[in-house]
Amino acid sequence: MSDQNPTPSQNDPLPKVWDENARIGDMLKGKRGLVVGVANGDSIAFGCAAKLRAFGADIALTYLNDKAKPHVEPLARQIDADVLLPLDVMQPGQMQAVFDHLKAHWGTLDFVIHSIAFAPKNDLHGRIVDCSQAGFLQAMQVSCHSFIEMAHLAEPMMNPGGALITMSYYGADKVVRNYNMMGPVKSALESSVRYMAHELGERDIRVFAVSPGPLRTRAASGIGHFDELIDMAVSRSPGRRLVDIAEVGRVVAFLVGGGATGMTGDVIYVDAGLHNVA
């Protein structure tokens, strides 16, 4: 479950999530933020970055490594991202370097979008009771603790009213077949959101988890029998459909903007109502 190794051809057309609305307003004009997790044009992180930029925000993007850079760089150009930096959260010092660069470049931040998750395939596809300690700790480090670390580094730079947002999934709250060890990991992430919202509230920093339904992203493709999960979501959701990354991005833009100042610590579902169906 990872966007670690994007695979689209370099000749593939750029996605239309940005082109469909170019500039749709200045609701976020003057706001600046970091979006982590873009691997290709299907990434939830790119849907968020494109919509935030469309509403006027200045965007910094990261890419995992040299192999990923050719896939992310055209997307950064497409949305006119202000900054593009390498970030592998498993590499000591890289996250600190990103925030040091942003402090020198911008001075302050208004939002951080954390959209990364990883679990070793052998552990993810097996039972929780059989997963290795190393695999579980790696999944927690990338998928949960990295968000906590980003919040720690972002806090001194955050403007009042700022927002820290991560991505979760319904499997954090209910048992979802084949989601396996990522369920406890995402549950820890959602609990961290609530505690961080409590701790950072006095600084007027808001914290959220956004929980999309299953999407055909590269990260999700690592889940066993993923097509079955997709079919289940379509058949059970009230709208009989999946959401797309642009819909997730619009919700994130709302949370970053002034309309959500009275909200914090929440898990926001963007799954066409799937989580409401027994």
- Residue 7, in any domain of the structure: no
Marked catalytic residue, from 63, 170, 179, 269: 179
CA distance 29 to 17: 19
Mind listing the pLDDT tens digit for each residue in 126-147?
Answer: 999 999 999 999 999 999 999 9
Annotated active-site residue 179? The verdict is yes
Q: Using a pLDDT cut of 90, give the percent of the chain over it.
A: 76
19 assigned to some structural domain: no
Residue 117's closest CA among 191, 60, 152, 169? Answer: 169
How many domains is the chain built from?
Answer: 1
In a domain, 108, yes or no: yes
- Check whether 3 has a pLDDT greater than 90: no
Does some domain include residue 133? yes
Question: Cα 166 vs. chain centroid, distance in angstroms?
Answer: 5
- The whole-angstrom separation of Cα 69 and Cα 39 is 8
Task: Please determine, for residue 17, whether its predicted confidence score (pLDDT) is greater than 90.
Answer: no
Confidence category of residue 23, pLDDT binned at 50, 70, 90: low
Host domain of residue 78 = 32-276
Do the domain assignments include residue 24? no
Return the CATH number at 99. 3.40.50.720
pLDDT higher than 90, residue 218: no
Between 69-78 and 44-54, two packed helices, what is the crossing angle to 10 degrees? 20
Q: How confident is the model at residue 220 (pLDDT cuts 50, 70, 90)?
A: low
Decide: 79 and 28 in contact? Cβ < 8 Å.
no
DSSP state of 15: P
- What is the mean pLDDT of the segment spanning 26-46? 95
Asked if residue 23 is part of any domain, the answer here is no
Residue 188 falls inside a structural domain: yes
Q: Rounded CA gap, 100 and 228, in Å?
A: 43
State pLDDT tens for residues 167-212.
999 999 999 888 999 999 999 999 999 999 999 999 999 999 999 9
Catalytic site includes residue 169: yes
Output the average pLDDT for the chain.
90
**Catalytic: which of 169, 170, 195, 269?**
169
Between 272 and 108, residue with greater pLDDT: 108
> Which whole number is the average pLDDT over 33-39?
97
The answer on pLDDT for 109 being more than 90 is yes
Whether residue 1 is contained in a domain is answered as no
pLDDT tier for residue 228 given thresholds of 50, 70 and 90: confident
pLDDT at position 129 is: 97
Is the per-residue pLDDT at 16 higher than 60?
no
